[in-house]
Amino acid sequence: MILQGRKVAKGNAVGKALVSTDGISFYGGVEPETGKVVEKGHPLEGQSVTGKILVFPAGKGSTVGSYTLYQMKKLGTAPAAIINREIETIVAVGAIISEIPCVDKIDIEKIKTGDRVRIDADSGSVEIIK
C-alpha cells in the first residue's frame, strides 16, 4: 500500500514502523543518550525509537526538541525516519537540520507497529511493504 503525503525533510529510509497514538516531545520526553521514550504514561514509554520509522500524530512540548533530535542523530540514537499526520515547527526544524527523512499529511492509522515501511521523503510517499 502506498500513502501519499508531503515532504518535510529530504531523504529515503526503509525500516520497521514504531507507531504512537500520542504526540512526542523530544525535549524531556525522549532520552537522547538511549533513544528511549521516558515521558511518564506515554504509549511508547520505555521503547527505543532508534533506527525506527517513527510514526506519530505531531510534535509537542518545548522548542528545544529540535536540538534534541540533532543530538540523537549525532549520537546514533535517532529514528531512521519520521512520519507525522501534521507537522509542526519543532519536529520540522529538527528533521531538517539533522537530515532525518520526514513526511507529513499521512493517514497514520494505516501503519501498524512492526510494519516494514519504505519512505521516500523527496516525493512525499510512504510504502507499507509488510
Partner 1 sequence: MELTKEEKDMLAGKYGKAVKQSMEILVSLGEIFGAKRLIDVSSVQIAGVSYHNLGDAGLEYLADLAKDGKVRVLTTLNPAGMDLENWKALGISEDFAEKQVKVIDAFKKMGVITTCTCTPYFIGNVPHFGEHVAWSESSAVAYANSVMGLKTNREGGPSALASALTGKTPEFGLHLDENRQAQVIVNVKAEMKTVPDFGALGYAIGKRIGNKIPLIKGVKKASVEQLKSFCASVATYGGTALFHMEGITPDKTTVPKESIEITQKDVDGAKKDLNDTDEVDLVAIGCPHLSLKEVEEVAKMLEGKKVRKEMWICIARPIKKIADMMGYTKMIEDAGAKFACDTCMAVAPLKGRFRCLATDSAKACFYGRGKNSFKTRFATIPELIREATR
Give the closest residue to 3 by CA, choosing from 113, 87, 110, 114.
Answer: 110
Residues that bind partner 1 (CB under 8 A): 6, 8-9, 27-28, 32, 62-68, 70-71, 73-75, 87, 89-90, 92-93, 96-97, 104
Nearer to partner 1, 18 or 92 (CB): 92
- Ordered DSSP codes for 45-75: TT-B-TTSEEEES-B-S-TTHHHHHHHHHHH
Residue keyed to cell 525535549: 27
Nearer to partner 1, 61 or 113 (CB): 61
Nearer to partner 1, 3 or 91 (CB): 91
| Closest approach of partner 1 to the CB of residue 54, in Å | 18
